[in-house]
Amino acid sequence: MRRREFITLLGGAAAAWPLAANAQQPSGRMRRIGIIDDAPMWDAFRQGLRDHGYVEGQNIVLDYKSAGGVPERLAVAAAEFIRRPVDVIATYGTLPTLVAKEATATIPIVMIGIGDPVRAGLVASIARPGGNVTGNTILGPEVGAKRLQLFKEAVPAISRMAFLVNPDNASNVAYLEELQIAAPALGVKLISAEVRSVNDFDSAFAAMMRERPDAFMMTADPLLMLHIRRVIDFLTDNRLPSIFQNRDNVVAGGLMSYGASLSDLFRRGAGYVHKILQGTKPADLPVEQPTTGHQPQDGQSARPRSAATSPATRQRGD
């Protein structure tokens, strides 16, 4: 499929989503949505809610809790949402979703951008989640090997790839396992470094540089994304070419990206919230997966930086 045709298809699909969902308007009762670790990436979620007719202070309250991606603080935030209670908990990433799932089996949870929700134990299957959790996946582990392959094609000279990972995130662990299989076949040595908290970044960067990497990858773990500016500054200082899952990271200073549109996933997450508030059970809402079918541009093009076109999202049975 030509890139222009793909973008046109994506635009049509994104435009059709809110129109279909708006067939049912939200009820007049004030509803409360719990959000952990607010950040600019949640703007698309808020816009998605507005597209479905929700107005803060009129028919919806957004309840924010800060946890900084720390497991203990995530548990405290989830417990506070249960005490209030909220009508729905919205989460970004595997670890916050797991913590919320462990905290409640009754409050619906809409997960956004999960690496592998089945492997992480969040849902029974993609087509039939089977509990109080549903939402969408970014396909982190499955696309990771493809991401490395495309990066190698764009920058053939790379041979030592630094990989930043949060080992407390089950999807990150799966992502690392996939890369450990794919890297040797591409003639690349994988250099992994772990970040479990904000205090780990400096030591992780130092450990990477001792191994003399010539390129960089990382997961879309919420903790890492909260501190992406710090990561970009490190890459700039050390002149390391990089590839990310999210286009926003390229806009911030990375070289390439290949993966689903994070803003689209957040916007579609708002559609799940709307359906649940209208009475649909999470167990009856299949998990959405992004489709692929495009090649990212690399930094050798006329533009100084470029990103992969964002894949559309669809539902697929298992």
What are the pLDDT digits (tens) for 212-223?
Answer: 999 999 988 889
CATH no. for 3-139+261-294: 3.40.50.2300
CATH fold of 140-257 reads Rossmann fold (3.40.50)
Whether the per-residue pLDDT at 157 is higher than 90: the answer is yes
Q: Give yes or no for a cis peptide into 71 (omega within 30° of 0).
A: no
> Facing residues of 91 across strands?
111
Q: How far apart are CA 305 and CA 299, in angstroms?
A: 5
The CATH 3.40.50.2300 portion of the chain extends over 3-139+261-294, 140-257
Residue 302 has what pLDDT? 25
pTM: 0.74
Sheet with 160-165, edge to edge strand ranges: 189-194, 160-165, 215-218, 242-244, 256-257
The single residue listed with the structure tokens 């205090």 is 199
Identify which has the larger pLDDT, 316 or 74.
Answer: 74
Could you count the other beta carbons within 10 Å of the beta carbon of residue 215?
23
| Mean pLDDT calculated for residue range 238-256 | 88
Residue 196 has what pLDDT? 93
Residue 113: closest CA among 262, 314, 13: 262
Residue 36: closest CA among 112, 106, 96, 108: 96
Q: Half-sphere exposure of residue 236, counting CA atoms within 13 Å on the CB side? A: 11
